[in-house]
Chains A and B, each alone.
Chain A
Amino acid sequence: MTHTLVLGRRALREGIRTPEAIVPTLFIPLFFLVVNVGQVARIFPGSTTAFLHGQGYGAFQLPSSMLLAASFGSAALFLVEEIEGGYFDKLRATPVRRSAIVLGRLFAEGTKALLIASLIVLLGLIFGITIASGFLGFLLLIFLTAGWAVVYSGYMQIIALKTRSAAATNSAGLIFFPLLFLTPNFVPRNLLTHPMEIAATINPVTYVMEAMRSLILQDLRWETIGLGYLVIAVAGAIMLALSVRVIRNYD
């Protein structure tokens, strides 16, 4: 645990010292939020659209922006840099637990995601979005976002460890687009066309997004929230098991 925290603190320092890697994490999701709301909000006015539960369309779109922000983690690219520069071997030559090398960066990604998610929600509040589930709902919302950040960064780290290539790692990150857009991104699942509804139903990100959306638009709906957390827990467990296996077999 000490090794994970020590390496996690180092990764956080690295993040703070590389603001150019953090700024797009905030800017691009907010850009998409503004553009999507600007284009669609008049079709779905808050006063007459049932699935908005009395809020504006921005509240419906907020989870997409938060998930996008949580998928911009830089852990994997920093890891490739370290592999190419030789520092990764330096770490492997110490008696540190192999899993701590992976978990340290994930700890930092989770922490950064908590801060970024809080900031996005805060900006949302300024523009009239409310968190209908209250303060507990707010906490559940940002922890769910951080959970997704850890899962996605973990997946990217596996690719980085397997390929040891920045180009391949970047390309692997593109999987985020089908994951994010084959979801009820613009309207609830029951309003999607049939093929899109099937795609969204088998896409696990849908359940994370629906959990986040329910926390913003409605009171605590434990079944939906639980499903979102279950997806994160299962994906997280698979990702951790694979990460540890890959780093132990790293040669």
Chain B
Amino acid sequence: MTQTKAVQAMQSDRLTAPAVEAQGLVKTYRGRSGTVEAVRGVDLRVEIGEIFGFLGPNGAGKSTTVKMLTTLLSITAGTARIVGVDVATQPDAVRQRIGVALQEAGLDARQTGRELLVLQGRLFDLSADAAASRAAELLELVELTAAADRMIKSYSGGMKRRLDLASALMHEPEVLFLDEPTTGLDPASRVTVWDEVRRINERGTTVFLTTQYLEEADALCDRLAIIDDGRIVREGTPAQLKAELTNRLGLAQEATLDDVFLDATGRTRLAGEVQEVKA
């Protein structure tokens, strides 16, 4: 095959590739107390244009999986591709295609909102003018224009989350990773973030969302996967997962996503309390 044909074949593969694809993804850490397996062979496939929810209890491996998919952590074993681009071998090409808003709303508190966005744009090789203009557009989108020239340290939690979201969108990514974007927000701010996520998705961006809030996953996600103890334990649309549990347990009322989550993570609800299921 000539080099041109090889490039064309690669481009064609990318056109038909899923937004996110992981096979046998593993992450192990070596600590003082021995080797810890944080992720134990995760397979995932997220189609272009989806809002995909990634759920799991604390410490299940959600954030570790996201960090591997976003090039922030090395992959111990397995493969991951973003829009057909290999995460381990072409990390910079992956970074060009993804936007990342991590759990901590990592922002530089000593910059203004506008400065932070312009800087983010410059790091994605936008010219100074293009970065300034895109920053103004996004500040408008997340309703922060009035606070744009204030130091970020004076922002509320909700404002910081919206700014973080805007910074992840500066370079118009194909896939947006949101790691627990509403944790710690009041209900009104949470709904605002949900609206932003829907609006972003309607514009064609695939969204990979990790969350601990089941109502958030139910309200936003086309499909979801539940991870527990480093392994995917359920995957499907919210409706499919609820119907499967209702049928399997022969419930009189349709199961909720809470029930699906508790069932998938080895817990059950008895007399209004959540209890561990002992094997």
Contact = CB atoms under 8 A, between A and B. Distances in A.
B110 A86 contact: no
Interface in B105-127: 105-111, 115, 119-120, 122-125
A90 B179 CA distance: 12
Interface string A78-106: 00001001111111111110000000000
Interface in A160-213: none
Nearest to A250: B72
Given A86-B104, A95-B92, A6 B123 contact: yes
Given A95-B123, A96-B123, A90 B110 contact: no
B278 to A, nearest CB: 36
A10 B108 contact: yes
B96 interface: yes
B210 interface: no
A135 B102 CA distance: 51
Interface in B194-248: none
B227 to A, nearest CB: 20
Given A6-B123, A251-B73, A88 B111 contact: no
Interface bin, chain A: 20 to 34
A162 to B, nearest CB: 16
A17 B119 CA distance: 17
Interface in B42-63: none
A49 interface: no
A86 B164 CA distance: 11
B95 interface: yes
A14 B124 contact: no
Contacts of A53: none
Interface in A29-47: none
| Interface residue SS majority, chain B | loop
B95 A95 contact: yes
B100 A90 contact: yes
B70 interface: yes
A2 interface: yes
B124 A95 contact: yes
Nearest to B103: A86
Contacts of A18: 110
Contacts of A90: 100, 102, 106-107, 164, 167
B71 interface: yes
Interface in B134-161: 151
Contacts of A88: 106
Contacts of B102: 86, 89-90, 93
B98 interface: yes
Which 5 pairs show the lowest CB-CB distances between chains A and B? A86-B106, A86-B104, A93-B100, A87-B106, A95-B95
Interface of B: 67, 70-74, 92, 95-96, 98, 100, 102-111, 115, 119-120, 122-125, 151, 164, 167
20 contacts: A2-B122, A2-B125, A6-B122, A7-B119, A7-B123, A10-B119, A14-B111, A17-B110, A82-B108, A86-B106, A90-B100, A90-B106, A90-B164, A93-B70, A93-B102, A94-B95, A94-B123, A95-B95, A95-B123, A96-B123
Interface of A: 2-3, 6-7, 10, 13-14, 17-18, 82, 85-96, 251
